[in-house]
């Protein structure tokens, strides 16, 4: 009895010291925190002050925060209160009800806190995903611990009260020349002390970072108890002189936004958190004469958690501030209104240089990619293009959950929310194009085969994806596409493919540039069934005797599909009065710019072995034939390129884990357009280009891997630059040694020059470090994107009455549009490709407004010209 009274006196004394210390700190009250988990019904999203790991394993209901599983390292970070590095105190407490008292031999199942949780990059978002701190809690056996499980402090009956409810309190304060931590366990009233332990820390062990609630159960995957609720938390309180407030770290309920603007139509999608679905709508407002005016409203999609707005007749002559608003359900009597603000930029149609930033491969290795977003903000692009793999299956830890449907949806959304968290400050103020690729739909590789389902008997592995189609349910695939593409201009042909999977391929006119947006993978044939002799595994021929150049291009193999070829034929010849240049956006390039040692041509090689030291060269490499690339099927590739070059369009893409600039060859080297494949944001699977033979017709001052080559499929390509991975002294090496970064394309509408740039993560152009990857920047002219050599020319055009008109050349003999271009100036010499054919010339302000048509023109035998007079 005496001992119990003595312990209570000690606790009261400790609390008195803490309160006295806090009273001396004027900031103590404003930095205090008390949780509010009130809601009218169950909600997955906890609130804007929190981040839960993983999303699908938590909810709030009946005023409690519940961990819905009994699994490893389930945790909730408090975003708005942080432990700073100054000296002072930390106090946090929480009510706990433990639902699963599952003991383990090592006494490692526990609930409680992680204190001072930090990530690698000194960023609150990194802390929230990957942070590690000092664990302190109570085990399911009733033992308190700080840091390790070595202490055995359980007292009789403590285990029994864990289910009824307890209060766990953590206190940290200066103690002599050190710091002391006290971890106390009280009954549910918080008045009766059940147990406590103490631990001293040295001055070098000072704590700063996040305060986190944790539920940790180390059970076997086969243990069904792993899927049962572990713990409920409530009345979480934080105070102390080391606590600071960061309200701008709140995340949600409107997490981020993406928009496009094309042909006077604004489409904006707000990505919402998994809030309670009901009558509450999301509103789009614009600022007009210093007042916010609602211009559209939207319900929240029950799967994608998106709210999409369509605004017609948008006035694009000036910047217009916008905000998205929504009221959070905070219980029966209260709803909290929240906002997300951005800017709809004026259409840069009169801007001389149009800048596009390109990205691919957003693994979590460098999350939240603040180095890249700062660099890109410096470039101030007019458009952001994410070419695919905005998420990877392991992103954010905790693996991948493919079923049941509702959990698989939340599993994806958490990864997608991470992407938005990293890039939202760029996306909110400029148009964004983000297109889905294989990892976005939980595939290592994907051959969509027109939307079919993969054979169920093959499960989820490489064998299933080699067979073609989608592994995940069509409803889930459509959910993914809606999160990434619902803000696009309407699809060219919205007819769903098989299983009811929707399409999104379309075009966008913005800033005087016309963009075609493709779906490379959706219609592509699976190679396994078409190439049985090759013995395909994961897109690679395991039969080393199979010659992909001579045997791989088989009848019936599809790349883009007839529907997208029809779209491209329309797009290349559709020029509005504002269209000056054209750009193709797709998942990947139409070539396979990669090599491997001869002995590893089946694709099996450790990724880090692909990284070389600066100045070294892989002397035994050969061009590979990776069927995941758009180098296959060759006929489908050539069909697409023959159409694309008719618009003199440059191609921007990604996916290859290796930055490159090439010029396509179809019948001959250089007769197609140029392409920039951007490097990965973070690269878990690096590739390289070190062909054994030197490039033909290469610049002698350039590396020997440049020049004219055939890829592993026999496709012609001229290589101008490649960002091969090299070992560096930059840290972390997993980012900087793997040739990561981003691409920039500058389209000069006055000069018709196109500048292709490839930037490493280590660059810092704002601070003067403007070193791009070796070989960049590369400057080309618009007309180089139809590099096919002329057989002859039609008479030179000398045009009066209008500057920079559209010229379209039609081969009458074969009834085919050869190309369409907005010329630069008033003179143009149309090239043609058959001397014996006759041709039609159409000239005007747009392809819907041709003013002059000249027919039955023959190629020149001697120099001459046509004078064309156009009255606007």
Q: List pLDDT tens digits, range 810-830.
A: 999 999 999 999 999 999 999
Q: List pLDDT tens digits, range 472-518.
A: 999 999 999 999 999 999 999 999 999 999 999 999 999 999 999 99
- Whose CA is closest to 181, among 150, 206, 204, 216? 206
* Max Cα distance, the chain (Å): 117
Q: How far is CA 239 from CA 8, 36, 806, in A?
A: 22, 16, 68
Q: Is 56 helix (H, G, I), strand (E, B) or coil?
A: helix
Beta pairing partners, 286? 293, 322
Q: Contact 639/567 with Cβ under 8 angstroms? A: no
As a whole number, mean pLDDT of residues 698-715 equals 97
Phi and psi torsions of 90, nearest 5°: -135, 130
As a whole number, mean pLDDT of residues 327-353 equals 92
pLDDT of residue 153: 59
Beta pairing partners, 186? 167, 193
Q: List pLDDT tens digits, range 396-418.
A: 999 999 999 999 999 999 999 99
Q: pTM of the predicted model, to two decimals?
A: 0.94
Q: DSSP character for 453?
A: B
What is the Cα Rg of the chain in Å? 31
Please check the confidence at residue 205 and state whether its pLDDT lies above 90: no
- Whose CA is closest to 652, among 723, 744, 524, 564? 744
Cα 413–Cα 416–Cα 421 angle in degrees, nearest 5: 120
- Helix (H) or strand (E) segment spanning residue 529: helix 527-530
pLDDT of residue 2: 39
Q: List pLDDT tens digits, range 27-43.
A: 557 899 999 999 999 99
Residue 396 Rama label (left phi>0; alpha psi -120 to 50; beta): left
Residue 466 Rama label (left phi>0; alpha psi -120 to 50; beta): alpha
- Whose CA is closest to 480, among 439, 513, 509, 536? 439
47 Cβ contact partners less than 8 Å away, ≥ 6 residues apart: 36, 37, 60, 252, 328
Give the whole-angstrom CA distance, residue 347 versus residue 113. 50
Q: Contact 761/679 with Cβ under 8 angstroms? A: no
SS percent in the chain: helix, strand, coil, step 5: 20, 35, 45
pLDDT of residue 26: 43
Beta pairing partners, 251? none
Tokens 């740039």 sit on residue: 757
13 Cβ contact partners less than 8 Å away, ≥ 6 residues apart: none
Give the whole-angstrom CA distance, residue 423 versus residue 330. 28
Query: What mean pLDDT is reported for the chain?
Result: 93
Residue 12: pLDDT band by 50, 70, 90 thresholds?
Answer: very low
């Amino acid at each position: 009895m005496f001992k119990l009274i003595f312990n209570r006196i000690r606790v009261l004394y400790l609390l008195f010291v803490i309160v006295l210390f806090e009273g001396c700190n004027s900031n103590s009250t404003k930095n205090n925190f008390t949780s509010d988990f009130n809601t009218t019904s169950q909600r997955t999203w906890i609130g804007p002050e929190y981040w839960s790991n993983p999303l699908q394993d938590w909810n709030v209901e009946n005023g409690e925060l519940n961990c819905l599983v009994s699994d490893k390292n389930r945790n909730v970070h408090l975003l708005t209160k942080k432990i700073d590095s100054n000296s002072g105190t930390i106090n946090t407490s929480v009510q706990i009800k433990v639902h699963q008292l599952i003991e383990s031999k090592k006494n490692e199942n526990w609930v409680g806190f992680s204190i001072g949780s930090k990530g690698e990059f000194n960023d609150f978002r990194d802390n929230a995903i990957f942070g590690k701190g000092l664990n302190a809690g109570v085990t399911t056996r009733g033992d308190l611990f700080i840091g390790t499980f070595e202490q055995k402090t359980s007292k009789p009956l403590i285990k029994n009260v864990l289910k009824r409810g307890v209060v766990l309190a953590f206190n940290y304060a200066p103690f002599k020349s050190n710091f002391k931590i006290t971890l106390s366990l009280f009954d549910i009233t918080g008045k009766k002390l059940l147990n406590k332990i103490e631990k001293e820390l040295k001055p070098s062990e000072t704590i700063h970072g996040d305060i986190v609630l944790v539920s940790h159960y180390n059970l076997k995957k086969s243990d069904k108890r792993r899927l049962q609720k572990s713990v409920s938390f409530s009345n979480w309180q934080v105070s102390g002189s080391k606590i600071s407030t960061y309200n701008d770290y709140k995340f949600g309920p409107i997490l981020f936004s993406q928009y496009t603007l094309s042909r006077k139509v604004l489409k904006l999608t707000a990505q919402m958190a998994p809030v309670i679905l009901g009558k509450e709508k999301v509103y789009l407002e614009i600022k007009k004469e210093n007042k916010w005016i609602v211009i559209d409203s939207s319900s929240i999609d029950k799967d994608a958690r998106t709210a999409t707005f369509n605004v017609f007749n948008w006035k694009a002559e000036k910047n217009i501030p916008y905000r998205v608003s929504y009221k959070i359900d905070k219980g029966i009597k209260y709803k909290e209104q929240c906002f997300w603000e951005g800017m709809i930029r004026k259409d840069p149609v009169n801007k001389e240089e149009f800048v596009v930033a390109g990205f691919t491969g957003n693994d979590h290795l460098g999350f939240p990619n603040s180095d890249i977003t700062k660099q890109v903000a410096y470039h101030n692009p007019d458009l952001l293009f994410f070419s695919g793999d905005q998420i990877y299956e392991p992103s954010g830890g905790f693996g991948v959950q493919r079923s049941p449907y509702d959990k698989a949806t939340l599993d994806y959304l958490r990864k997608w929310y991470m992407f938005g968290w990293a890039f939202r400050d760029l996306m909110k103020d400029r148009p964004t194009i983000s297109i889905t690729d294989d990892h976005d739909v939980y595939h290592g590789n994907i051959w969509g085969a027109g939307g079919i389902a993969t054979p169920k008997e093959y499960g989820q592995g490489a064998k299933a994806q080699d067979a073609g189609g989608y592994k995940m349910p069509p409803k889930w695939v459509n959910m993914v596409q809606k999160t990434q593409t619902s803000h696009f201009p309407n699809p060219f042909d919205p007819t769903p493919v098989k299983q009811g999977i929707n399409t999104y391929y379309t075009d966008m006119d913005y800033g005087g540039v016309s963009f075609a947006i493709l779906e490379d993978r959706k219609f592509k044939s699976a190679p396994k069934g078409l190439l049985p002799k090759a013995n395909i595994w994961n897109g690679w021929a395991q039969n080393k005797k199979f010659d992909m150049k001579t045997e791989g291009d088989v009848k019936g193999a599809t790349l883009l599909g007839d529907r997208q070829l029809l779209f491209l034929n329309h797009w290349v010849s559709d020029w509005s009065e504002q269209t000056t240049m054209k750009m193709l956006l797709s998942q990947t390039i139409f070539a396979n710019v990669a090599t491997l040692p001869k002995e590893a041509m089946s694709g099996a090689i450790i990724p880090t072995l692909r990284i070389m030291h600066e100045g070294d060269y892989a002397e035994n490499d050969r061009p590979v034939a990776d069927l995941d690339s758009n180098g296959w099927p060759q006929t489908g590739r050539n069909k697409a390129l023959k159409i694309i070059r008719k618009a003199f369009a440059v191609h921007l893409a990604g996916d290859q884990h290796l930055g490159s600039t090439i010029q396509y060859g179809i019948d001959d080297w250089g007769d197609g357009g140029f392409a920039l494949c951007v490097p990965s944001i973070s690269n878990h699977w690096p590739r390289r280009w070190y062909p054994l033979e030197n490039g033909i017709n290469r610049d002698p001052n350039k590396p020997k891997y440049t020049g004219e080559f055939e890829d592993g499929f026999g496709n012609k390509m001229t290589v101008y630059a490649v960002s091969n991975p090299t070992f560096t002294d930059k840290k972390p090496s997993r980012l900087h040694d793997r040739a990561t970064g981003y691409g920039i394309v500058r389209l000069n509408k006055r000069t018709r020059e196109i500048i292709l740039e490839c930037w490493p993560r280590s660059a810092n152009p704002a601070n003067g470090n403007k070193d791009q990857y070796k070989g960049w920047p590369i400057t080309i002219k618009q007309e180089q994107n139809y590099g096919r050599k002329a057989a002859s020319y039609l008479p030179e055009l000398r045009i009066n009455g209008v500057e920079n008109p559209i010229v379209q050349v039609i081969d009458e003999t074969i009834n085919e549009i050869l190309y369409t271009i907005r010329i630069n100036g008033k003179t143009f010499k149309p090239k043609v490709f058959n001397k014996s054919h006759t041709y039609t010339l159409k000239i005007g302000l747009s392809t819907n407004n041709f003013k002059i048509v000249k027919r039955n023109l023959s190629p020149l035998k001697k120099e001459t010209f046509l004078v064309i007079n156009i009255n606007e």
